[in-house]
Structure 1
């Protein structure tokens, strides 16, 4: 997805065929989060919003780790933020990160 960083998880277009810059991340069948170009927020317009989404499932007993959402300038930075958040969630729940 970009620069020196290499994705560790699978990223799929959230709405295939719609033409949106919107992707959902997965660790196998576990939904880990989403990134999308923000076209509406005045202070972050055209940046990429990210949000982590794996809490409350598949052995995750720890409540959601904050921050679990934010904005980045590039799509790969937003994807990295989701993956980093997911790895922190895994570690907080006694699971090893996949990296």
Structure 2
């Protein structure tokens, strides 16, 4: 994923399916899954990038609406994920300690081992 428009990634982005899919990424903040971006290859809007935000391990996270959408470029979709997460953090406050237990062990890059 390239950075454009002066935007710089704030969180860790990794391929969702390493070695298989080159246009599908997941975002993490200190091991917490915060969203996904992928190129649509099948619908009438194919070629656009779908994005979705979420924190499934953090049940009290107050995400903003909309928490899904589309963008013309991958960086725009990634920015939407990160902006939505930041807005949710502002609403939710500090991450509860219990969330770390749900995330599980992390690798050296701060990515959950289940993804590797």
TM-score band w.r.t. shorter chain: 0.7 to 0.9
8 Å CA contact 2:13–2:27 kept in 1: the answer is: yes
Q: State the alpha-carbon separation in 2 of the partners of residues 78 and 85 from structure 1.
A: 11
8 Å CA contact 1:56–1:63 kept in 2: the answer is: no
Runs of 5+ consecutive residues of structure 1 not aligned to the other structure: none
8 Å CA contact 1:55–1:64 kept in 2: the answer is: no
Partner in structure 2 of residue 78 of structure 1: 77
Q: CA deviation at 1:62?
A: 4.6
Change (3 A) 1:31 1:62: closer
Which has more radius of gyration? 2
Runs of 5+ consecutive residues of structure 2 not aligned to the other structure: 95-116
Q: Using structure 1 for the length normalisation, give the TM-score.
A: 0.85
User: Where in structure 1 do 4 or more consecutive aligned residues deviate above 3 Å?
Assistant: none
Partner in structure 1 of residue 43 of structure 2: 41
8 Å CA contact 2:40–2:50 kept in 1: the answer is: yes
Number of residue pairs aligned between Structure 1 and Structure 2: 93
